Structure 1
Amino acid sequence: MATTTASEPSLAQKLRGIKGEVVKFGIVGLTGVIVNAGVFWVCLKATGPINSLSGYIATSVAIGTNYLGYRYWLYRDRDAASRKREITLFLIFSGIGMLIENGINGFSVHVLGYDSPTSQLIAKNVIGLTAGTVFRFFSYRTWVFKALPEVTPEPATESPAAHATTAAAVVAQAELVLAAERVRLAKAE
């Protein structure tokens, strides 16, 4: 009797599998970059505390814009059962990304002495944003917008009673998902 085992996909196969996700993530991210750069540039023209906090203000506005894109376009098919947990993790990881972004800008201004608006724009929105984006991509897809668990088919060698138990569990899980979706749709109306 020959048995076959499923082999683990290679790294190249995994990377090919997330290509569409990376493209959509980039589109949402590009929207955020445009919002971030626009708000940052406007805040740099102000005087006083707004100028000093311009990076944080711009990133905060972009975080809000990006959450909407990620939740309702890119990751709309992901598990949304615990929205409070999702938003909390999103804000935590976005905050870490903001610190990466603005930390690079602060290093550029205060350590390297590049304090012109153009050099700040490059430090924050090119170098810092790139580093922050890589961090955000992997943290969002791994911890924030979790994929729904895949149901693995049971082998055909089971007894009919075991198959009925498995089928009942799948039906129960599907009913829970549908009930959660009805609640979500009712709240949206």
Structure 2
Amino acid sequence: MSERGALRVRLDRLMREAVKFGAVGGAGLLVNLLVFNLVRHTTSLPVVRASVLATVVAIVFNYVGFRYFTYRDRDKSGRTKELTLFLLFSAAGLVIENGILYTATYGFGWDSPLQSNVFKFIGIGIATLFRFWSYRTWVFRARPVAGGGSGADPESGPGGGEQSEPVRVR
């Protein structure tokens, strides 16, 4: 396969992955915002605590979606490690997402329902970029290339999420 053909295949796979990630993420976004607004308007929890609770519910929802839809073809041999890394990177995303909401709410006093939802949404967007990179690179890794191809070993470090095609060296 030519270099251009190999690049096209990799870009097509990345695009399909991004679309599936977006579908699960979009559903998770709805879960996150619905739980956030439900908790915020029916309880006396402070805005950031309501957001953290909503984010945790969305993380559980997203793990199931990612594992069984977006990354169902990925290596399943190390579920404990996978779940540990997923929770670690999800927690980092939670801090990003809710740090933005915290700053808007307590740093700038922007606490109306509209402002809270806007900054929650912005936080989710920024955290999603981080999560996409970290999940595909570290959590839901590609299976090793069959037949001992010349591709990099997916267990050797980051970038294992793209090892579907052997790399050609001139």
TM, length-normalised to structure 2: 0.79
Check whether the contact 2:36–2:51 (CA below 8 A) recurs between aligned residues.
Answer: yes
Q: Does 1:67 align with 2:63?
A: yes
Q: Does 1:53 align with 2:49?
A: yes
Q: Does 1:34 align with 2:30?
A: yes
| Alignment match, 1:85 | 81
Check whether the contact 2:48–2:101 (CA below 8 A) recurs between aligned residues.
Answer: no
Check whether the contact 2:36–2:54 (CA below 8 A) recurs between aligned residues.
Answer: yes
Cα distance in 1 for partners of 2:143, 2:31 equals 31
Larger Rg: 1
Check whether the contact 2:39–2:45 (CA below 8 A) recurs between aligned residues.
Answer: no
User: 2:67 is aligned with what amino acid?
Assistant: R
Q: Secondary structure at the match of 1:53?
A: helix
Check whether the contact 1:43–1:50 (CA below 8 A) recurs between aligned residues.
Answer: no
Q: Does 1:146 align with 2:125?
A: no
Picking from 16, 23, 28, the partner of 1:20 is 16
TM, length-normalised to structure 1: 0.71
Distance 1:114 1:79, change over 3 A: same
Cα distance in 1 for partners of 2:137, 2:32 equals 24
Quote the sequence identity (%).
Answer: 43
Picking from 103, 117, 125, the partner of 1:130 is 125
Check whether the contact 1:45–1:51 (CA below 8 A) recurs between aligned residues.
Answer: no
In structure 2, runs of 5+ residues without a counterpart are 150-170
Q: Secondary structure at the match of 2:74?
A: coil
Runs of 4+ in structure 1 off by over 3 angstroms are: 6-10, 12-17, 46-52
Question: What is the aligned residue count?
Answer: 148
Structural mapping, 1:94-173, within 5 Å: 94-125=90-121, 127-151=122-146
